[in-house]
Amino acid sequence: MAVIDDLTTVFEEVFDQKNLTVTNETTSNDIDGWDSMSHVTMLMAVEDHFGIEFKPYEIANLVNVGALVSLIEKKLAEKG
């Protein structure tokens, strides 16, 4: 399964929205309920789901879901 597919599942759970469409271009403006608090919850859920940990400076550079996917893929590659 592709990272974006797993990520979509995490987003559906965090934002309590089934059949959510998440693309590389998706931003917080595109999903109802994605605010600063849910952003932290989402990032923690992503870390738990993929078994990775983000550094604060990495999070600050995320401009859209595509950037998050790239970061997850990098972290998974480093993890081996």
In whole numbers, what is the pLDDT of the chain averaged over residues? 95
pLDDT at 74 over 80: yes
Q: Residue 8's closest CA among 17, 16, 20? A: 20
Q: What are the chain's domains?
A: 3-79 (1.10.1200.10)
pLDDT, tens digit, 9 for 90 and up, residues 5-42: 999 999 999 999 999 999 999 999 999 999 999 999 99
In 10-70, at which residue ranges do the beta strands (DSSP E only) sit?
none
